[in-house]
Amino acid sequence: MASIAVIGYGVVGSGTVELFEKNKEAIRKKCGRDIEIKYILDLRDFPDSPYAEKFTKNFDDILKDPEVEVCAEVIGGVTYAYEYTKKLLSAGKSVVTSNKELVATHGAELLKIASENNVNYLFEASVGGGIPIVRPLNKCLAGNEIIQIAGILNGTTNFILTKMIREQLDFDSALKMAQELGYAEKDPTADVEGYDACRKICILGSLAYGKHIYPKYVHCSGISSITLDDVEYAENAGYAIKLIGNVKSVGDKVFAMVCPRLVSRTSLLAAVDDVYNAICVTCDGADDVLFYGKGAGKLPTASAVVGDIIDAVKHKGRALSISWDECYDEDYVVPYKSDAVSMFIRLKAENADELKPYLSELFGKLIHIERKGRPDDEIAFITPSYIEYDLDSKLEELSRYAIIKSKIRLL
β-pair partners for 176: none
The residue from 207, 233, 300, 346 that contacts a copy of itself (CB under 8 A) is 300
> Contacts with a copy of itself: how many residues (CB under 8 A)?
55
* Mask for 90-129, x = binds a copy of itself (CB under 8 A): ----------------------------------x----x
CA–CA separation, 157 and 242 (whole Å): 8
Minimum distance, C-beta of residue 302 to a copy of itself, in the bound complex (Å): 6
147 touches a copy of itself (CB under 8 A): no
Minimum distance, C-beta of residue 394 to a copy of itself, in the bound complex (Å): 36
CA angle 172, 177, 179 (to 5 degrees): 95
β-pair partners for 167: none
β-pair partners for 3: 36, 68
CA–CA separation, 8 and 147 (whole Å): 37
**How far is the CA of 357 from the CAs of 360, 382, 391, 398, in angstroms?**
5, 15, 18, 12
Minimum distance, C-beta of residue 155 to a copy of itself, in the bound complex (Å): 12
159 touches a copy of itself (CB under 8 A): no
Stretch in the footprint of a copy of itself (CB under 8 A) among 60-68, 131-139, 248-256, 363-371: 131-139
Cβ(153)–Cβ(201) below 8 Å: yes
Give the residue from 242, 214, 219 showing the smallest Cα distance to 336: 219
Query: What are phi and psi for residue 15, nearest 5 degrees?
Result: -65, -40
Question: Which parts of 18-37 interact with a copy of itself (CB under 8 A)?
Answer: 19-20, 22-23, 26-27, 29-30, 32
Stretch in the footprint of a copy of itself (CB under 8 A) among 14-22, 58-66, 160-168, 171-179: 14-22
131 touches a copy of itself (CB under 8 A): yes
CA–CA separation, 126 and 334 (whole Å): 25
Residue whose CB is less far from a copy of itself, 215 or 297: 297
Residue whose CB is less far from a copy of itself, 239 or 386: 239
Minimum distance, C-beta of residue 194 to a copy of itself, in the bound complex (Å): 24
The residue from 47, 142, 180, 361 that contacts a copy of itself (CB under 8 A) is 142
290 touches a copy of itself (CB under 8 A): yes
3-state helix, strand, coil in the chain (%, to 5): 40, 25, 35
Is position 200 annotated as part of the catalytic site?
yes
Stretch in the footprint of a copy of itself (CB under 8 A) among 74-82, 138-146, 215-223, 252-260: 138-146
Residue whose CB is less far from a copy of itself, 123 or 171: 123
β-pair partners for 249: 254
Minimum distance, C-beta of residue 292 to a copy of itself, in the bound complex (Å): 4
Stretch in the footprint of a copy of itself (CB under 8 A) among 2-10, 161-169, 196-204, 277-285: 277-285
139 touches a copy of itself (CB under 8 A): yes
CA angle 392, 397, 403 (to 5 degrees): 90
238 touches a copy of itself (CB under 8 A): no
141 touches a copy of itself (CB under 8 A): yes
Cα 287 → chain centroid: 21
Cβ(410)–Cβ(382) below 8 Å: yes
Pairing of strands 343-348, 378-382: antiparallel
144 touches a copy of itself (CB under 8 A): yes
Q: Name the active-site residue from 38, 54, 100, 200.
A: 200
Residue whose CB is less far from a copy of itself, 141 or 349: 141
Amino acid at 314: K
The residue from 140, 367, 387, 403 that contacts a copy of itself (CB under 8 A) is 140
CA–CA separation, 308 and 124 (whole Å): 7
Buried-state track 64-86, b at ≥16 Cβ within 10 A, e below 16: ebeebbbbbbbbbeeebbbebbe
Stretch in the footprint of a copy of itself (CB under 8 A) among 142-150, 151-159, 170-178, 336-344: 142-150
The residue from 318, 348, 356, 368 that contacts a copy of itself (CB under 8 A) is 318
CA–CA separation, 221 and 382 (whole Å): 20
CA–CA separation, 98 and 83 (whole Å): 16
Task: Tell me the three state secondary structure of residue 101.
Answer: helix
Binding site for a copy of itself (CB under 8 A): 15, 19-20, 22-23, 26-27, 29-30, 32, 124, 129-132, 134-136, 139-145, 210, 268, 271-272, 283-294, 299-300, 302-307, 309-311, 314, 318, 321
Catalytic center residues? 200
